[in-house]
Structures are given as structure tokens and as C-alpha cells.
Chains A and B, each alone.
Chain A
Amino acid sequence: MTPSTSVSGSRRGGYRWLGFLLRRTGRMLVAMWVIITVAFLVLRMAGGDPVRSALGATADESVVQARREMLGLNDPLIVQYFDYLAGLFRGDLGVSIITGRSVTELVSHRLPATLELAGIAFLVVLLVAVPVGLGIAIITQGNGRRGVETVFTGVTAFIAAIPEYLLGVVLVIVFAITLHAFPVAGRTGPASYLLPVIALSVSAAASISRIARIEALQTLKDDYVRTARSKRLPAWMVYFRHALPNMLTATLTIGGTLLGAMIAGSVLVEQVFNWPGLGMAFVGAITTKDYGIVQGLALVYAAIILVVNLLVDLVLSLLDRRTSLLETS
């Protein structure tokens, strides 16, 4: 913070940012490698013969042996491991033990549905929770309107305690079965998105709006908000232009893992609404003990979550002009 920070400062900031990016990416790759190895070992160490348990006790021994040979399960463990890694580099996520079909193909068919669902729900959460949190904070600042505060905390605590799948079930019962208002299941056009998105976003929106309110209360006490008031700007300008961007960074920092959690939540919601995404395939593979698919999909989920977290961190570090994130990581 010397007076001469103008040019050299921003360049140094650029280098620091690059270092941050590299460090974060490196950490993500290490985490990914650990997960790949764990997934590999889990499949090989799961009790008994995975092929036998997948194909069932009645399957012919020669079929089982052929499938084992095809999967390379008869090779030494270390050879299997490197084959597996090499396959991953080629984008080969393995095959289904039962059908022998490519998991990569499965993912390419089903990933878009899951990403759409989680992405839209995430946007809905932010668009609802942040303004609500800010609005309630404006009303309840300075210890005023304790009643509003109590009602808000009570209602959001209640909503946050409703798991996604339960809300999904209720929505199905109310809107699809009783009112016949919306499609019950499947991905069949814009209307079919409504219920799954609501199921996935409502309880997250409740928790995030509580975080947003706390952050907004803090932001509204900040000096620059008083400065903005001293300029006698219209209220919307004080709140949206001066308070909002600053509370957003803080809210996202805390709610950063939200998107990852929503991707996991989509597994349940897909189940309730018969949504043709990765989650349905994942749960199906677990119940049919198709560990080939389980392994591949677990990696995809892990990769999505790691990438999402990396992106959130990067966006935050860009948003946060005080660059405090660079120091802490």
C-alpha cells in the first residue's frame, strides 16, 4: 500500500493471481488422483467377485470368466491400475459390468440433464435468497422489527429442515397427482422443469437467505454504506450498488459449497421425478451392483464438484477487490 502501487502493484497482483490459480489447480488434480485411486481400489476390494455379484448367481461360469477377461480383472492389480489411468486419459470411464456398454457414452447422454437441473436450481437459489436476505436485513437492521426477524428465522429454519426428496414427494402429490397441474415425471419440455427445480432449490434458498441476511446486516454496518448514505443517493442505489456486490462475495464464500451440495441433491430429486440424469443411473447402478458404472459416475461427480469449487474460488478471488483470498490460500 505504498503510493507507488499503480503499475508495479497491479502486475505483481497478476503474478500472485496466476500463482493462486496454479496452486488451486494443482490441489484439485491431487484430490482428483486420490479419488480415482480410491474408486479403483473400492471396486476391486468390494466383497466377493463384482462380476459374479452383478451378473447373479445363476449366470454361467464361462460368461462370468469372459466378462472378467474383457474387464481385465484377471490381470495383476498394478497392471489394472495403469490400464485404468491410461483409459481415463483417453476419456474412457470404463464399462458397465452387466451390459458391457461404455460409461462415457452413458455420461454424455445423461450429464446435460443433471447439469441443467442443478444449474437452474442454483440460479434460482441465488436470485431468490440474496434479495430476500438483503431485504430482511434492511428491515431488521439496528435491532428494529424483532417480530420480522423472529418470523423469518422460524420460517427459514422450518423450510431448511425439509429434505429435497421430501419436498419433491409433496410436490408430486399436490401438483401432479391431486391437481394434475404439472408433469409428474421425466424431462418433457419447460413445464417439466418446474417441480424438480423447486424441490431442489427451496431448502437451499432458505439456508442461503439466512446467511445472506447475516452478511447483509454486516455489510449495512460497513463504513462505505454510510458514505453512500452521506451522498444522499436514492435508497435502491445505496442497497443495490453499494451493499449488494460486497455482501455477495461474503455470501458466496460461505455458500460456495452450495452448488456441489445441489449436484448431490439432484441425485434424490432425479429419483423422485424420474429425471433422466446421472443420479438415476448412479442409484440404479448401485442397486443392481453394477460397480463399473458406479466407479465411472463417482469420478464424474467428484470431478464436477472439484471443478465447481475451483470456479467458485476463482470467481470470488476476482470479485473480491481486497484480494484477501490470495493471502489465505
Chain B
Amino acid sequence: MTTRRSALSRQPMAIIAVCMLGVLVLLAVFAPVVWGDKAVAADPDSIALPLSAEHLLGTDKLGRDILLRTLVATRLSLVMAIAATLIGACIGLLLGAMPAVFGARAQRWFASVVSTWLAFPVLLVAMLTVVLLGPGATTAVVALALTMTPSFARLAQTLSSRVGGSEFLAAARMLGVSRRRQFTRYVLPNIAEPVIVNVTTSIGGGLLALSSLSFLGVGVQPPDFDWGRLLSEGFGEVYNSPVAAIGPGVTVVFAGLAFSMLGESLAAHLRNREHGKALSPRRLGPAPVAERPAETPSATATDCAETIVPLLEVDGLSVSFPGPDGWIRPVQDVSFRIAPGEIVGVVGESGSGKSVTMMSVAQLAPAGAAVTARRLRFDGEDLTGLTPAAAGKVLGTRVGVVFQDSLTALNPALRVGTQLAEIPRVHGAVGRRQAHEMAVRALDDVQIPDAAHRAQQFPHEFSGGMRQRALIAMSQIGSPSLIIADEPTTALDVTVQRRVLALLRRECAESGAAAIVVSHDVAVLAELCQRVLVMYAGRVVEDVDIALLATPERLAHPYTRALTASLPDLDTDRTTPLVTIPGEPPDLSRPITGCAFAARCAFATELCRTETPVPVPHRHGGRVACWHPQDAIAPDTTPGREEVGA
């Protein structure tokens, strides 16, 4: 409770709103008591005076001080708005909760009534109510309550279906929690908070609406007065004394703002409590970078033949996101190289940072991500330290990306052909017609039947497999030298998967492009790749030839071994349970000391828990980041390793 209050009080907007409301409440309580008589007593000696030290806003036609009248009107204005909102909320919430009892049909019918009712603005409903009941404060309140009812009914409907169908309530019911306790402990708190937020904001809106009615002359009638009434009286005299209309206007805006600000900060507070709002980068301080100095052996790792200039060279890449409690570091100190034409797989559990790494390399990290690297070179050009936009410009169409979910990766509002054609149109400086022809040809290349017709269609008219092929066509159309495929087959059926993989392989073979294929599925990678990077908790833990995956005893890192062992195949003994890796991947929002896998590793020692291993060349021809590689009888005989380990 204390933490909640202190969190709310940290919002400057909430503090201001509460102070403003405090002023209003004081005025509403005391102003009529103190100035009530003076505000209504006519004074023939001071009729229609302009503003002066004595009458800050001047006086009206009957000689009454407008400032005092404005302050006194606070009570009626506030009471009317609060009453109307509460009546509307009570009726609306009751109405909205009822259909839930009567089943789905009643709910649909009710929803359609509510949405039609909602469409009618306050003013029109109010006018008709005025006709029926005659103008006056009560009428205005009834009218406003009537227009507020449907929005509260809808709120109740969504809330009751959300809470009623929720898992925590089902769980409580199963555990035999009493009905009363179910209601007070689970239902009420979940309904109360959004309702309070809505009531607060509605009072603000109600104040404005009521003042509008009074302004039109259909709300509060003389001799009573609220702010709207005073405004309309002041507007009548606007040529004599403009401030007479401004005074009450300022209070209307002040009060409306106080309520809407309070409602908003309450809502923001609830949202943040649910999701946790990320801190601003300024409060977080600079993004963490890889601690390791540049001269360590991994920078000169021989992961691709040294005689060849690598197409892509990544050294010490770290990615950080602002989180609620500090930087979250999904990728830390990742280094690798890709040779021209090489196909490399990246494998790891979800959350291991494999996609984030590759998206950062392609300069497509989400906004807000802090990407740092000691060295980032592509095709002989240095991208180190460039902004994503600048680096993206350098990359141009030389990096093609195949995204994971083809339905969301294609723009639903644009024709598929257009989405392909814009690449040559922008980069190739070709005409519209020519670009379109290229798009059709590219679609035809990936075996989309009737490509000319299909190019005119929208993504939702394509099947999942076709969309994925269209994405591959899109990554190809700029003739890239590197293709980054992010889980290209995850969203597809097994049969379609094979086709898409074959297509990817063919495209790479034909164009000679290198490729990085990200997947959590070792089997998919085994079909395509020559080499595989194994990632765990944001780091590369092993970098090996793909053939080694078939012989787990030659793999060095315990995690890679566990990963390959957890894959069932046709030879797996069905009578024993499948191998799983015990434990959970670590929480990346906290700094990890030592090897991230240590907590789940059977071979972990004190060293593993204190010192972070970096990938170093290993005897299996790749690299491994482990203090105790498991591929040899005596693991600690490697000379370099003993030094560090001792």
C-alpha cells in the first residue's frame, strides 16, 4: 500500500491535480457560506462596473461582483457534475452487469443497443430531456446522467466478462474460496479501479457539458447560477467588459482539467503497475557495453578461414533496453564472422537474444534499444558507431531480411506487388512499370502461381506459405550479399516448412549470397547451414561446424550438448521420458556474474559462478565459451585455459 501511494505521489501530474481539487473543494464548501449573500445581493450603486481593485472581474447588470459569484458558483457546478456522474455510473454499471446473467444472445443485443445509444452526444439528449422536464438544474443533471449511462454500461460489460472469465477467479472457485470472499477479494478490486478512473474523468467531462447546457440557457435557470450561466451572462455583456466572460471560463477549464488530470494519472498509474513502465534512458545512465578489452583472443578468432576477408564481422556487440528497474541486456558481448556465401545458423531458446542480435546487425533493432559494438564491418565498410539510420543507408539493399511471421511482417494495407516493387523503385531508380515487372518476376521466382495476378492482391488473400515465399522474394529483389532469415519457418506447417527451406537454400546457391538463419529448431538449421552459433542468455556459448551436432560427444559446451540431447528423433527410446534441461534461463534484467548457464549446469564449479567465460578457439575447430568443455576426458589440460582457471 505504501509503495503504491509513493509511486502515485512520484507523478507530478497527480500532485498538481490533487492540489487543484483541494482548492475546488475548499471553495465549494466555504465560498457560499462566506460570500453567498454578497454574491446575490443587488447593489444599485455599482451596476456594470469594469474591472477595478475592488471588483477584480467587474460587476454585472445588477451590481453583483462577478468574481464572488464565480467562486460561489463552484458548489453548484461541482455538485451537479458529481451527481450526474454518480447517477449515470450506478445505472450504467447495473445495466451493464445484467446481460452477463442472461447469456450470450442478450449480451450481443445489449452491446448493439449500447453502441447506438453511445453515438448520441450529450447535448442532443439533454435538449430532448429539457423539452420533457422543462429547463433547470435537475433536468440538466438527469440529461447528463442519461448520456453517461451507456459508457458505464459498456465498461461494466467488458469488466464483468474480463473478470468473470478470468483464470484467477476460476482458480479461486476451484480452491473453494467462499462466494463473498471471491467478490471482495477478486472481483471488486479488479472492477473498482477502472471504474474509479472512469468516474473521475467523467466528472471532468460532465462539468464541461453542464456548463455548455447552462451557457445555452437550457441548464441552470436564474436566480440560480453555475459557471456556464455566469459565462452566458458575461458573454451578453462582452462588448462592455470582456473579462466578465473570461473569469467563469477560467474556472470551468481549471476544474475540468483537475478531474481529467487526476483520472489520467490514476489510469497511468494502474497501467504502470500492471506492465511496469520502463525508465527513461536519462535516468538509467549510459547503456552498458561489453567489459572485455579489445585485445582478447576472441577478436582474432579463426571461425572462418582467415585467408578470406569476412563479409560480416561483429565484435563485442551488446544490446540493451530500458526496463523498469534498469537496463535489460538481451545481448552481451557477441562476436562472430560470416564469410561470403557462407550459411550460418543461430540457435537458442526463446529469449536467448538470437533474433535481437541479428536484427541489431541489420540495423533494425526496435526504437529505444541501445546497440553498441567494438567493431562492426560489412563487406569492407566500417559501420562501428554509426546511427542505425546511417548504417542502414550504408547497407542499402545488400542485406535482405526474411521475417518470422509473414502475416504481420507484410503491410496489410498495401498490395503485395507494391511492397516488393518499392525496393527497386527506391534503390534501383527504375520506373514504376519496370519495378512492378521486377516484383512479378520475383514472385514468379519463388513459385507463386499466377504471379501477375497475385501481385495485385493484399497479404490477407495469400496463404501462410505463399506469404512466406513472398517475403523471401522481397528479401531477394535487391540482390543482397547477405540474407538474414529470422525464424523463417516457425509459423508454418511441416510440409510447407520443407518447401520454404528448399527455396531459401536454392536462392542462396543461385545468388551466392551468405545467409544467417535464426531458429530455435536445430533440425531446420541442419538442413541449411554449414556452421551454427549457439546462444544462451544473450551470449554466444559455442560456434561449431553443423556436422558436429550429429555427434554430441564431440560438442564442447554443456548447454549445446543438452540442447541436442533434448531433441527427439526416430531412434529416441519412447519408453523413457524426453530429456529436458532443468531450471530456467536467467533473468536478463539483473546483472549475471559468471557463466549464465552455471545454475543449470551439472559441471559448474566456483570459477563458473564468478568469472564469465568468453568464446575462445577450441580443438573441434570452432569456439566455445566454457571453463569446463565436456568433449575431452581431461577438460582442463588446454594450456591457455589452465592459466585462467588457476
Residues of A within 8 A of B (CB): 1-3, 5-6, 9-10, 27, 31, 38-39, 42-43, 45-47, 141-144, 146, 153-154, 157-158, 160-166, 169-170, 172-173, 177-178, 220-224, 226-235, 237, 241-242, 245-246, 249, 257, 260-261, 263-265, 267-268, 271-272, 282-283, 286-287, 291, 294, 298, 301-302, 305-306, 309, 319, 321-323
Contact = CB atoms under 8 A, between A and B. Distances in A.
Interface string B447-458: 000000100011
B257 A161 contact: yes
Contacts, number: 214
B461 A5 contact: yes
Contacts of B130: 286
B157 interface: no
B463 A2 contact: yes
A299 B443 CA distance: 55
Q: Which residue among A172, A232, A264, A272 has the maximum number of chain B CB atoms within 10 Å of its CB? A: A232
B412 A227 contact: no
Contacts of A221: 366
B464 interface: yes
B301 interface: no
B412 A224 contact: yes
Interface in B394-430: 395-397, 399-401, 403, 405, 408-414, 419, 422-423, 426-427
A196 to B, nearest CB: 15
Nearest to B255: A161
Contacts of A45: 132
B466 interface: yes
A157 B257 contact: yes
A271 B127 CA distance: 14
A323 B282 CA distance: 42
A249 B412 CA distance: 12
A161 B121 contact: no
Contact of A161 (B208, B245, B282, B471): B208
B460 A237 contact: no
Given A27-B112, A163-B212, A173-B245, A231 B408 contact: no
Contact of B260 (A161, A170, A261): A161
B238 interface: yes
What bracket does the count of chain B residues touching chain A fall in? Answer: 35 or more
B264 A229 contact: no
13 contacts: A2-B463, A45-B132, A141-B368, A157-B264, A158-B253, A163-B252, A177-B242, A223-B405, A229-B364, A230-B400, A242-B414, A298-B128, A322-B460
A260 B369 contact: no
Interface string B215-251: 1111000000000000100010011001001100100
A46 B409 contact: no
Given A144-B367, A268-B123, A42 B426 contact: no
Given A232-B392, A283-B218, A321-B459, 16 more contacts: A3-B463, A3-B466, A144-B281, A144-B368, A146-B280, A166-B211, A169-B249, A223-B403, A230-B400, A231-B397, A231-B423, A233-B422, A265-B121, A286-B131, A298-B127, A309-B119
Contacts of B461: 5-6, 9-10
Given A157-B260, A283-B216, A232 B397 contact: yes
A3 B63 CA distance: 81
B367 A1 contact: no
Contact of A165 (B121, B215, B395, B409): B215
A3 B469 CA distance: 13
Given A47-B134, A161-B204, A166 B253 contact: yes
A164 B215 CA distance: 11
B465 interface: yes
Nearest to A222: B408
A328 B116 CA distance: 15
Q: Which residue among B211, B212, B322 has the maximum number of chain A CB atoms within 10 Å of its CB? A: B212
A89 to B, nearest CB: 22
A226 B403 contact: yes
